[in-house]
Amino acid sequence: MNRKLMGAVVAAILAAAPALAEFPEKDLQGIVMWGAGGSTDTVMRSVTPHAEEVLGSDVIIQNMTGGVGAIATKYVFAQKPDGYTLLLGAENPQLYKVMGLGELDYSDFIPINVLARGVPVIVANNDAPFDTFTEMVDYVSAHPNEVKFGTTGPGGLPSTVTAMLSSKLELPVTEVPYDGDGPAITALQSGAIHVVPVVMGVAIEHVKAGRVKPIALIDVEPNPLMPDLPPITEEYPDFATYLPWGPFFGVFVKKGTPDEAVEKLKEAFAAGAENQEFKDLMAARGYSIMNISGDEAVQFLEKYQSVTSWLVHDAGIAKTSPEEFDIPRP
């Protein structure tokens, strides 16, 4: 009874509404897969206001944390593919399959925009008895299991970079797990760990202040923010097969979203990524703007998945082989 009444009221209101304009007709919902204040959250909250101007509607940002982002991914996938629910995510879903965290990844979504990519650096405690990557490798082989490496849960940047290193080098270290790269860089300064691979944005301010020392840049070319730090490929060209590699941030909608909505969203977030203010913010933190969508984005996502899945598989921390999911070896 009540329900019928409600329906009638709603129908009456809708009938009286001004002719419905094109997408978006109402506010959008943006689901951030990591917590408030984290890097994914801050990147998304700094790009959306610019996208909102193009859309002419608000994007209500909500954080839905847990399960390395799997809960948010599953939630967005469960919504209607109408373009009103955006997944504001990081690189994590590309590893869910091999990590046994479900069957979803970004191939179930349409990339609206892969906004930016981070560059990993390896930083060490100031008191550590080595100043360059080569010195570290020598020291580690001379003192097996004495050097403490900070890592995160499997699939996190520190654990993937460590896997990358151990795939080409003999590296007997003690891996001490942390919740994320923020807590890890704190622990680095307390001396609880000696070395940690993190994304440049997390380390940059601590490096500038001289509280930690950078010892390797995991990239193929030098970075303007740390011009004195040689890329790892200079001394270890083997790593070039994996690089450039780095965590990324992107905006996604579920597959099956109407083209009209997808195009509008692409236009909006491309404008957001183009915005000078946003570009400056990202540059200051060492993120490279990508601003790609469509096939280009799909290719990027697939390459990331293939490199990373096989790395964690070869390091022995994957639950299922990438072969099972037809993920090609890089």
Partner 1 sequence: MGPNNTRKPGEAIFALLLALLSLGALVKAYGISGFEGLSSPGAFPMAAAAVMLLSALVVTVNTLRASRDSDTEMFRDILPANAVMMAGLILLYAIALRPLGFLPTSLIFLFVSTLILAKRGVIFAAVVSVLSLAIIYIVFRLVFSVLMPEGVVPEREILAWIARLASGGAE
Partner 2 sequence: MIDALQNLTIAWFDPSLLMLVALGTFAGIYVGAIPGLSVTMAVSILISFTFSWDVYEALSLMVGIYMGGVYGGSRTAILLNIPGAPSAIATALDGYPLAQKGLAGEAIGLSTTMSAVGGLLGILVLAFAAPAVSEFALTFQPRDYMLLAILGILLVGSLSGESLTKGIFAGALGLLIGTVGLDPLTAQERFTFGVVELWGGISFVAVMIGMFGVAEALIQLRELEMAAVKQTISRIVPRWSDVRKYLPLSLQTSAIGVLIGALPGTGGDIAALMAYDHAKRVTKDPDVPFGEGAKEGLVAPETANNAAIGGAFIPMITLGIPGDAVTAIIIGALFIHGLNPGPMLMIEKPDMFWFIVGALLLANVFMLIFGLTGIRIFTRIVEMPRAVLIPLILMLSIVGAFAVNNSITDVYWMLGFGILGYFMKLYGYQVGPVILGVILSRLIDENWRRAIISDQESLPRLFQGIVTSPLSLVLFIAVVLIFVSQTPLWAALMKPFRTKRTPPPDA
Helices (DSSP H) in 106-225: which residue ranges? 133-142, 157-168, 181-190, 200-208
Give the whole-angstrom CA distance, residue 282 versus residue 285.
5
Q: In the β-sheet with 195-199, what is the strand arrangement from edge to edge?
A: 174-177, 148-151, 195-199, 120-125, 212-217
Instruction: Work out whether strand 120-125 and strand 248-254 pair parallel, antiparallel, or are unpaired.
Output: unpaired
Q: From the list 1, 3, 210, 316, which residue makes contact with partner 1 (rule: CB under 8 A)? A: 3
186 binds, among partner 1, partner 2, none (CB under 5 to 8 A by kind): partner 2
Residues in region 48-87 near partner 1 by CB under 8 A: 57, 60, 62, 84
17 binds, among partner 2, partner 1, none (CB under 5 to 8 A by kind): partner 1
Give the whole-angstrom CA distance, residue 143 versus residue 286.
33
Give the nearer residue to partner 1 in terms of CB position, either 61 or 283. 61
Does 2 help bind partner 1 (rule: CB under 8 A)? yes
Shortest Cβ distance from residue 195 to partner 2 (Å)?
13
Give the three-class secondary structure for 244: coil
Binders of partner 1: how many residues, by CB under 8 A? 17
13 binds, among partner 1, partner 2, none (CB under 5 to 8 A by kind): partner 1
Give the whole-angstrom CA distance, residue 217 versus residue 312.
20
Give the nearer residue to partner 1 in terms of CB position, either 2 or 145. 2
Give the three-class secondary structure for 120: strand
Give the nearer residue to partner 2 in terms of CB position, either 139 or 236. 139
Residues that bind partner 1 (CB under 8 A): 2-3, 6-7, 10, 13-14, 17-18, 25-27, 29, 57, 60, 62, 84
